[in-house]
Amino acid sequence: MARIKRKSAVLEAASKRFAGLKAIDDPNLGPNLTEEIFAAKITSLSNRLDAYNTLLTRVDEEQNELEKAEAETAELSRRFLAAAEAQHGPDSNEYEMLGGTRTSDRKKPTKKPGGSSGTGSSGTGGPSGTGPSS
């Protein structure tokens, strides 16, 4: 999923304010508040924002490549385990050495005592009328 590119409300407001400043005939607001200084600052911010968003795009590309490499490695790993199982058997030491669980090491399922016939007490109050009333 692509990262959301950043916008700057400050840049938008400054651009609008600069457009208004240019409409004034003689904007003499002091020695440190000139059109050139303001334009340079707006341009600098715009360039930095563009550079930041470009970096986000590069990070997205790198993440995609990393995920692709992970998927390829996972598939190869799965194939190695399957090949060891086919070659040496699912209960072999070689299969276990590659990370598989030997058949003889798997826990055997246990049966619950008493069996389950489905007629046990469910606490819903059946036809006997001993449960909660509605």
- What average pLDDT is seen over the chain? 86
Structural domain contains residue 127: no
Structural domain contains residue 130: no
Q: Say whether pLDDT at 53 is over 60.
A: yes
pLDDT digits (tens, 9 = 90+) for 2-38: 889 999 999 999 999 999 988 887 777 888 888 889 9
Q: Please report, rounded to a whole number, the percentage of residues in the chain having pLDDT higher than 90.
A: 60
Phi, psi of 121 (to 5 degrees): -75, 125
Structural domain contains residue 2: no
What pTM was computed for the model? 0.60
Q: Tell me which residue range forms the domain holding 20.
A: 9-104
CA distances from 33 to 19, 44, 83, 97 (A): 15, 16, 74, 73
Structural domain contains residue 113: no
Q: Say whether pLDDT at 84 is over 90.
A: yes
Better-scored residue on pLDDT, 78 or 115: 78
Provide the number of structural domains found in the chain: 1
Structural domain contains residue 133: no
Structural domain contains residue 59: yes
